[in-house]
Amino acid sequence: MRHVVVISTGGTIASRWQGDGYAAEAAGREVLEAGAVPEGVEVRVVDLFTVNSSRLTTDHQLRLLYAVHEALADPEVDGVVVTHGTDTLEESAFFVDLFHHDPRPVVFTGAQQPLDAPDGDAAGNLYDALLTAVSGRDIGAVIVFAGQVFAARGTVKQHTVDARAFGSPDGQPLGRVEFGRVRWARRQPRREALPLPERTGSTPRVDIVMHHSDGDSVLFDAAVAAGARGIVLVGTGAGNANPEVADAVRRAVSSGVHVAVSTRVAAGAVAPLYTGGGAVDLAAAGALLAGALKPGQARIAVLAALLAARGPAGDGPDAGTLLRGVLDPQPPARQASDLYLVDGVGH
């Protein structure tokens, strides 16, 4: 018998019609009972919270992170499944992945159809997630949706309502769930996990500001004035803005604000190609380039680095050092043995 903890957080997979729209209301056990559980799998449900994921805060994500670590403190647990709304699933999955050091998987899933939809996808996605949770090893946090298994890093919601909602614009799935088993396609080197944040203290503000034609520094400066400790600048093309914005970045960085540059383009990485306020100038102003991370996950990278830099002794790595490591597209991979193989399943 394999043991999986299902952490329920709400979302469409737990939603029902409210008369004028859908809202999350179902408990985790109700979600689980909507479909079948793989043979030989025993499930324990943790109802953490029940919200539409567009309402999530850093406090919610920290509670989820601690719940995952508490579930894995039990050596009898083989893996964790998190049911989550699709709007911010990519952010929470990446957040958990950055702090995840355990070889047992954390599998995020959700649904595009509400729980009581006759042709819904909740039951199938949850079944596949449970199967992945007992089939994978040393895969970190992953997203399982519509029969595909994606690494948390780099995976985003690509369609508002389609059943095949998630994908990796710059990569391929790690595997697929077919005919009752997980078939892995490639290996994913794992990074060193960030130190687990403290449970006390206020959470840092991290904002996202998008550049566009006619763009100026007003919103960027407003974020700094509001107390942002980190800002993700969403540039055009390969991560470009203009001289006014580059000057604002320089001022922000000099005042201790961590700035990362992402892009509004669906695929591809930011790169220092252009001056005139482009990524060349933004990097010279002190911003860090976020590689292929899209804006939501780039923000999570900044947030996680700020949280991980805390420490009672104050002698750990600073947030800037941690953020550079998170954004590094090719960091040293930590040692892992026989990825994706557990008791001969899922190879």
125/252 same-domain check: no
Asked which of 182-191, 243-252, 274-283, 289-298 is least confident by mean pLDDT, the reply is 182-191
For 75, other C-beta atoms within 10 Å of its C-beta total: 8
Of 149, 180, 181, 183, residue with least CA distance to 167: 149
- Rounded average pLDDT over 312-316: 54
pLDDT of 340 higher than 70: no
Q: What's the pLDDT score for residue 337?
A: 43
Model confidence pLDDT, tens digit, residues 131-155: 999 999 999 999 999 999 999 999 9
**Complete DSSP assignment for 287-345:** PEE-TT--HHHHHHHHHHHHHHT--SSS-S--HHHHHHHHH-SSPPPPP-SSTT-BTTB
Interstrand relation of 22-24 and 15-17 (parallel, antiparallel or unpaired): antiparallel
Return the pLDDT at 345: 43
Q: What is the pLDDT of residues 203-231, one digit of tens each?
A: 999 999 999 999 999 999 999 999 999 99
- 129, with CB counted inside 10 A (0-12, 13-18, 19+), is buried
Selection from 65, 111, 81 nearest residue 3 by Cα: 81
Question: Is 334 within the bounds of a domain?
Answer: no
Choose, from 9, 50, 83, 86, the residue flagged as catalytic.
86
Angle (nearest 5°) at CA 206 between 202 and 210 = 165
Residue 56 predicted with pLDDT over 70: yes
What is the pLDDT at residue 297?
Answer: 98
Residue 336 inside a domain? The answer is: no
Alpha-carbon span 241 to 172, nearest angstrom: 30
Examine the domain organization and report whether 214 and 295 are in the same domain. Answer: yes
pLDDT at 310: 67
Q: Domain total for the chain?
A: 2
Taking phi over 0 as left and psi of -120 to 50 as alpha, with beta for the rest, 152 belongs to alpha
Specify whether 172 is located in the same domain as 222. Answer: no
Active-site position among 12, 50, 83, 132: 12
For residue 26, being part of any structural domain is answered with: yes
**Average pLDDT score over residue span 255-272:** 97
> What are residue 261's phi and psi, to 5 degrees?
-110, 120
Percent of the chain topping pLDDT 70: 94
CA distance 228 to 207: 7
Average pLDDT estimate for 260-279: 98
Quick one: 179 and 211 in the same domain?
no
pLDDT single digits (tens) 79-137: 999 999 999 999 999 999 999 999 999 999 999 999 989 889 999 999 999 999 999 99
pLDDT band at 19 (very low <50, low <70, confident <90, very high): very high
Q: Would you state the pLDDT for residue 330?
A: 79
Question: What is the pLDDT at residue 159?
Answer: 97
180 and 212 share one domain: no
The confidence score (pLDDT) of residue 347 equals 38
Residues 291, 259 share a domain: yes
DSSP letter (8 states) at residue 236: B
Band of residue 343 on the pLDDT scale cut at 50, 70, 90: very low
Q: What's the pLDDT score for residue 333?
A: 65
Are 297 and 216 contained in the same domain?
yes
In this structure, the answer to whether residues 154 and 223 fall within a common structural domain is: no
Tell me what percent of the residues of the chain surpass a pLDDT of 90: 87
Write out pLDDT tens, residues 164-180: 999 999 889 999 999 99
Does one domain contain both 210 and 321? yes
Please provide the DSSP assignment of 158-218 as one string: --SS-SS-EE-TTS--SEEEETTEEEE----PPPPPPPPPPSSSPPPPEEEEE--TT--SH
The domain containing residue 81 runs over which residues? 2-184
CA distance 131 to 39: 9
86 among known catalytic residues? yes
Has residue 343 been placed in a domain? no
Same domain, 133 and 213: no
Q: Is the pTM of this model over 0.85?
A: yes
Query: Of 306, 315, 267, which Cα lies nearest the Cα of 288?
Result: 306
* Among 266, 42, 238, residue whose Cα is nearest residue 167: 266
Average pLDDT, integer, range 305-334: 81
Same domain, 214 and 129: no
